[in-house]
Structure 1
Amino acid sequence: MAIEDFNTYSETDPGSMIVKGTRRVEWTDLTRNKEAYVWKDKTAGFFDGDFTHYLTIRVTADLSESNAQFNYWALANVVDEWKGIEDASEDMLAIAHSHPTSPDRIELNVIEVDGGARYGSVDYVMTLNTNYYLKIVRDESVGTYGTIYCYIYSDAARTTLLATISVTLHSSKKDFRYIYGVMTYNGATPHKASAYSEDLELLASLETPSVTTLSMTDYATTTITGNGVINSLGLSAVTAHGHAWNTTIDPVTGDNNVDNGTGSLGVFTSAITGLIDGQTYWARAYATNSEGTTYGANVKFTTNRSNLELIPGEYSIKGEKLHYVSKTGKEYEVQGIAV
């Protein structure tokens, strides 16, 4: 998706401390006793489920101001400043700047406000006049109600990870409407700082690919064709894709797999070989990129079943079992007593 244009965002700034640009929101001497913020209404429930956001931040002046406090990024369901959201028992997710009284340092935190109650991550200590390249991820599969992560990098390519800070979310899975490029904490004290946020990019899902398993075709005694669809590449190229299979449910690539190599959007097939005639298997399509491997749903199949001709009175071996076809054409597994 495209980088957000902050000129399309609304602004509340009674002290004229904030300047909006196309790619950057910059603030000078932003104080802790003003109600100031830059926000956009993305419509109700816009930020739902998993998402990934990218953001670059930099603190340009802090002046050892104890209790300086604001958000570089936030999601909420009301238009207000940080303290107002807490006092109104509302909800918020945020990436926050703080400068505590002790120790005397600039800190970065992940913040959740859940019905007015605040939860925070461990502190990451920042350096003045240094760019930090953030990747903000909400993953609703981690924890009861999801987890929000902030990955902090030293380079724009986001290859050198400095730290990861996170909060396990509380109470319920929440959708959000408004996104903020900066938000003050109106705490009635004039402590100030200068900084900017830029290159905000919003993605609706996590970075791993999306894949669907389709029905198997071309049944034979020891081979079958797996079918699948790559629905999304994620945020990087698909380096491996195919089918994993095993005699137990939820097969993974470490069991048995066909790797078709790099992949693109659309339908693909996998030539699965080395199977046992009459054996039941489970298979899943998969796709891998730099962020990980995802699997489609399980498909259960038995080799040679779709084109097996059942002849009354015939016996056959299926795996290690003896089968018999009755006069009515129904197949039975023969069981007996050892002699």
Structure 2
Amino acid sequence: MAVENFLLYTESDASNRLTETSSRVTFTGLSPNDDNTYLYRDLGVDYFNGDFEHRFAFRLTSLAQWAWLKLWAMTNDLDDYVGLRDGGKSGFFISYSRTLTSLSLRLWQLDSGAVSATSGVNFSSQTTYYVKVTRVESEGTYGKIYLRVYSDPGFSSQIGTTFSINIQTSKKDFRYVHAPMSYGTLFDGNNGATGGYVENLEGIANSTGSVTAQDVSAIAQTTATGNGTVLDVGTPTATQHGHKWDTNSSPYSSATKTELGVPTIGAFTSNITGLTPYRTYWVVPYITNSFGTSYGVVKSFMTLADSDPSVTTEALTDVTYQSATGNGTVVNAGDFTIEEHGHVWSTLHLPTIDDDSDTTISGALGAYTSSLTSLLVNTVYFVRAYVKTTTDLYFYGNEVELATSANLP
């Protein structure tokens, strides 16, 4: 998820309580009675209109008794909490309060001014905490909001229980996100000032996820393994990921793909199947959410051949003291395309194309002949028929022996 840039947010801060950097907003001496003190971003009408998960960290560095503050809020109107409540407005809020006995974090809801709230998660000052706020549209009549608090930035060690609140009376979509927001006028006149910060707010703007590609592995004749890594699940959270592949170099629109479901951060693999032997394929990892699809880099690989070309070497004919006719047969091309055939020879066993040769450019199957020339008199040679594929691979037939005759006067 992308971290919000607080320098792009708008202040309402007549008392100069707020200071922003790109990833952190610091509040100093912020009192419950500071009217209309908040930082907000306008995302547009009904921007938050479905499931979401927002994450942020906070730390209180100083506070007095009877301190009240909204660390995070989502509304359709601009005001402090009391102004919204008394104005009959709606919104969701993550609020902390310090009374005579405890310091706690709670989830609040305003429904046309009506207040409801969860129990609280107790916490301490001078400690950094990590918060998830999740909305699940499919739960309850109008959806449900969840609050979870963690002690680590990886969001793996949860503090206390999970708190939730049912969205009341109607489906609610929102325009503004706030971090933080002043209470307004505290109901009993107590006025405890607070210092601290909110930072690394994530999950606000819609974004596709992020995925990287690693080389394809376990390559066989008809199967291979695609490898990728999810770096970011996107906003909203991605619902699908996997690999796409094709025999052209741009597999993005290919219908041939794996669908591995909802992703998690980390490495993943795909079983790539139904391939043709000895064929080049291009594969790309992808990740999809309701905002769109993003891809890693394209990787190419070649499947293994299921069968090689077959060529045989027959006995030589027309043998003289310095020449002979080589005879061979291209039995089949296997999984390859043949572009030339011929014979190779040497005075050493198992000659290759690096030795003497006679070549014919042809992909035809069947019998063929080659001319072996410039041979030495009264010498034993070893001869093999061969074929060359369009992928520059050489395949050789069996070896036969040739003995040139003496050059008699």
- TM-score when scaled to structure 1? 0.62
Deviations 1:266-299 (A, max 9, x none): 79xxxxxxxxxxxxxxxxxxxxxxxxxxxxxxxx
Q: Quick one: distance in 2 between partners of 1:13 and 1:152?
A: 28
Of 119, 128, 139, which aligns to 1:122?
Answer: 119
Q: What is the CA-CA distance between 1:33 and the residue it aligns to? A: 1.1
CA pair 162-84 structure 1, distance change in 2 beyond 3 A? same
Q: Which residue matches 2:315?
A: none
Q: What is the CA-CA distance between 1:209 and the residue it aligns to? A: 2.6
CA pair 88-230 structure 1, distance change in 2 beyond 3 A? farther
Matches within 5 A, 1:180-259: 180-187=178-185, 189=189, 190-202=191-203, 207=237, 209-210=239-240, 230=259, 233-237=262-266
SS of the aligned residue for 1:15 comes to coil
Q: Quick one: distance in 2 between partners of 1:126 and 1:114?
A: 27
User: RMSD value over aligned CA atoms?
Assistant: 2.7
Contact between 1:230 and 1:265, CA under 8 Å: does it hold in 2? no
Q: Quick one: distance in 2 between partners of 1:51 and 1:230?
A: 23
Letter in 2 for 1:171: T
Letter in 1 for 2:132: K
Q: What is the CA-CA distance between 1:135 and the residue it aligns to? A: 1.4
Deviations 1:292-314 (A, max 9, x none): xxxxxxxxxxxxxxxxxxxxxxx
Ranges in structure 2 where 5+ consecutive residues have no aligned partner? 207-234, 243-254, 272-283, 289-409
Contact between 1:208 and 1:235, CA under 8 Å: does it hold in 2? no
Q: Which residue matches 1:87?
A: 86
Q: What is the CA-CA distance between 1:23 and the residue it aligns to? A: 0.5
Q: Quick one: distance in 2 between partners of 1:4 and 1:61?
A: 25
Q: Which residue matches 1:170?
A: 168
Name the count of aligned residue pairs. Answer: 230
CA pair 77-165 structure 1, distance change in 2 beyond 3 A? same
Q: Quick one: distance in 1 between partners of 2:142 and 2:267?
A: 29
Q: What is the CA-CA distance between 1:70 and the residue it aligns to? A: 1.2
Q: Quick one: distance in 2 between partners of 1:231 and 1:92?
A: 36
CA pair 230-114 structure 1, distance change in 2 beyond 3 A? farther
CA pair 71-80 structure 1, distance change in 2 beyond 3 A? same
Ranges in structure 1 where 5+ consecutive residues have no aligned partner? 213-225, 243-262, 268-339
SS of the aligned residue for 1:265 comes to strand
Q: Which residue matches 1:281?
A: none
SS of the aligned residue for 2:203 comes to strand
Q: Which residue matches 1:109?
A: 106
1:136 has 2:133 as partner: yes
Q: Quick one: distance in 2 between partners of 1:200 and 1:135?
A: 10
Q: What is the CA-CA distance between 1:236 and the residue it aligns to? A: 2.8
Contact between 2:240 and 2:287, CA under 8 Å: does it hold in 1? no
Contact between 1:209 and 1:238, CA under 8 Å: does it hold in 2? no
Q: What is the CA-CA distance between 1:211 and the residue it aligns to? A: 7.7
CA pair 266-79 structure 1, distance change in 2 beyond 3 A? closer
1:265 has 2:286 as partner: yes
Q: What is the CA-CA distance between 1:232 and the residue it aligns to? A: 7.5
CA pair 45-26 structure 1, distance change in 2 beyond 3 A? same
Deviations 1:164-213 (A, max 9, x none): 2221111111110011011011115332211210000115556463489x
Matches within 5 A, 1:148-167: 148-163=145-160, 164-167=162-165
Contact between 1:211 and 1:228, CA under 8 Å: does it hold in 2? no
Letter in 2 for 1:209: T
Contact between 1:230 and 1:264, CA under 8 Å: does it hold in 2? no
Letter in 2 for 1:198: E
SS of the aligned residue for 1:69 comes to strand
Deviations 1:133-186 (A, max 9, x none): 111110011111111111111111111111322211111111100110110111
Report runs of 4+ in structure 1 exceeding 3 Å deviation: 203-208, 226-235, 237-242
Q: What is the CA-CA distance between 1:235 and the residue it aligns to? A: 5.0
Contact between 2:90 and 2:111, CA under 8 Å: does it hold in 1? yes
Greater Rg over alpha carbons, structure = 2
- TM-score when scaled to structure 2? 0.52
SS of the aligned residue for 1:49 comes to coil
Q: Identity of aligned pairs, percent?
A: 28
Letter in 2 for 1:236: I
Q: What is the CA-CA distance between 1:100 and the residue it aligns to? A: 2.6
Q: Quick one: distance in 1 between partners of 2:128 and 2:192?
A: 22
Contact between 2:142 and 2:167, CA under 8 Å: does it hold in 1? yes
Q: Which residue matches 2:70?
A: 71
Q: What is the CA-CA distance between 1:231 and the residue it aligns to? A: 9.4
Q: What is the CA-CA distance between 1:34 and the residue it aligns to? A: 1.2
Deviations 1:198-237 (A, max 9, x none): 000115556463489xxxxxxxxxxxxx987649854535
State the structure with bigger RCO (CA 8 A, min sep 6), 1 or 2: 1
Contact between 2:69 and 2:182, CA under 8 Å: does it hold in 1? yes
